[in-house]
Amino acid sequence: MPDSLSCYSADCIEWNKENIQMKKKIQLFIKTKKFEILCLLLSAMMSVLTMSCKENSIDAGGPPIIKQVRLVDPAKKDSTFAKALPGTLIVIQGENLHRVLKAYFNDFPAPFNAVMNTSDNLIITIPGEVPTAATDPAVSNKIRLVTTHGETSFSFTILPPPPVLSSLYCEIVKPNSETYLIGNYFYNVKSVKLGTTPLQVVSVTPTLIRVKFPAVITSDFVTVECESGSAKSTVKVNDFTGNMINFDIPATSWGSAVCWGDSPIIAETDADALTGKFARINDKNLPKTGYNASWVFATCYFDFKLAAGNATDKLFKFEHNVKEAWTTGYYEITLNNDYVYKFKPWDNVLFAKTGYKTEGWSTATISLTEFKNATGLTIADASKITDLKVSFSNPDAVIPAFNTGVDNFRIVSR
């Protein structure tokens, strides 16, 4: 650069001209960029304003209104209804239903996917835990939607779930006796039947129905009918299929009920008898011992004519009547001299304080896979079982009082 203190030469004059032109270009560039930035800012502001206007336009469409409820199935899209079961996937239809914030059934919050929400529809599943009139008579029987632009409600009844009949407290019953049906959702029970014969309903809770059987009992399934549907037992009452020992039918080739053992066999006239003779231990101060001949009954080799099948497909069952609180000792049940199961129902946290007792006769159900030999193997084929031994053992402590009857040992299919 020329010396600025003596800038009178031609080169210096030319340099000054170039410098002035460069400054003008820089100023023009800055002005241009400022304009472009300003344009971008204005454009962004216009976009925000436009979106805001659109949102206000949508929300200005009016308050939400529910008009009807239908199933999601396109084949049933014209089928609207005002009742449904928990767990049902439904479409709530109406106007201005967009932007749902919260959904409620009987004031119970229901989750939903916002993607399934439009101005006309909300696809949602009724939660399984929704209260119903069966569990809370004060429920609102309404669907309620809360949106960004208001809320709406619609009269809709959530039915209680259909009944579930899991088991019978005792599968073998005697005439005019009572037992429990065990399950869930026993709401608004309309009838209980054995086959086609109505049974007297003594009492009902959501999980238990106490019924009384008639003087004449047929072997059949039990059906419970409620407002929301019906349920059928998986077993028949008084089904003796797969019998091994019941103390009435001989389990030996020479016609005796058992082959050996000194356990008392009680007559069918006894007040505690179920469907005939049975075995019972009824004594005070049972000694601490692993074996007592009067606590044993067994067959020898005998063809029970059991149906073939793997252990995973079979259940071992028998009835038991425990009249005194049972807290120690066990029944050791042995099949074919090798496969053993120890029955000690008291060994459960539920009975830690009270001991185990039954309310009359009750059916014990054990998976045949629980019977294992010394190497841990299970029975490969139930039809090959030819021997059954039942022995009470009490190795740990003296039992002050023990009064337990057993009967109807059998193996059945699941």
Q: CATH no. for residue 396?
A: 2.60.120
Residues 161, 229: Cα–Cα separation, whole Å: 8
Beta-ladder partners of 265: 279
* pLDDT given at position 79: 73
In a shared domain, residues 262 and 399 = yes
Q: Tell me which DSSP letter residue 391 carries.
A: E
Give the count of beta carbons closer than 10 Å to the beta carbon of residue 280: 20
In a shared domain, residues 293 and 353 = yes
In a shared domain, residues 175 and 112 = no
> What CATH number should be reported for the domain holding residue 200?
2.60.40.10
Q: Are the C-beta atoms of 126 and 90 separated by less than 8 Å?
A: yes
Sheet holding 229-232, edge to edge: 197-198, 189-194, 222-226, 229-232
In a shared domain, residues 182 and 213 = yes
Residues 167, 185: Cα–Cα separation, whole Å: 14
Residues 389, 86: Cα–Cα separation, whole Å: 49
Domain boundary pick from 142, 158, 174: 158
Q: Is residue 54 part of a domain?
A: no
In a shared domain, residues 278 and 378 = yes
* pLDDT given at position 75: 74
* pLDDT given at position 2: 40
Write down how long the chain is. Answer: 414
* pLDDT given at position 80: 84
Q: Mean pLDDT per segment of 10 residues, for the chain of length 414 residues?
A: 40 45 48 47 44 47 94 77 94 98 98 98 97 94 98 97 97 98 97 98 98 98 96 98 97 95 97 97 94 95 96 98 98 98 97 97 99 98 98 95 99 97
Q: Is residue 211 part of a domain?
A: yes
Q: Are the C-beta atoms of 410 and 317 separated by less than 8 Å?
A: yes
Q: Is residue 122 part of a domain?
A: yes
Residues 299, 314: Cα–Cα separation, whole Å: 20
- Of the CA atoms within 13 Å of residue 39, those in its CB half-sphere come to 6
Host domain of residue 106: 65-158
- Of the CA atoms within 13 Å of residue 101, those in its CB half-sphere come to 8
Q: Is residue 55 part of a domain?
A: no
Q: Is residue 326 part of a domain?
A: yes
Find the angle CA(263)-CA(265)-CA(269) to the nearest 5 degrees: 155
Residues 140, 105: Cα–Cα separation, whole Å: 8
Q: Is residue 154 part of a domain?
A: yes
* pLDDT given at position 31: 52
Q: How many domains does the chain have?
A: 4
**Type and span of the H or E element at 13:** helix 10-59
Structure tokens at 196: 């086609």
Domain boundary pick from 209, 232, 255: 232
Q: Is residue 309 part of a domain?
A: yes
Residues 342, 395: Cα–Cα separation, whole Å: 13
In a shared domain, residues 256 and 355 = yes
Return phi, psi of residue 126, to 5°.
Answer: -70, 120
Rounded alpha-carbon distances, angstroms, from residue 59 to 52, 72, 123: 10, 26, 20
Q: Is residue 26 part of a domain?
A: yes
In a shared domain, residues 349 and 364 = yes
In a shared domain, residues 152 and 171 = no
In a shared domain, residues 74 and 171 = no
Q: Are the C-beta atoms of 406 and 320 separated by less than 8 Å?
A: yes
Beta-ladder partners of 297: 390
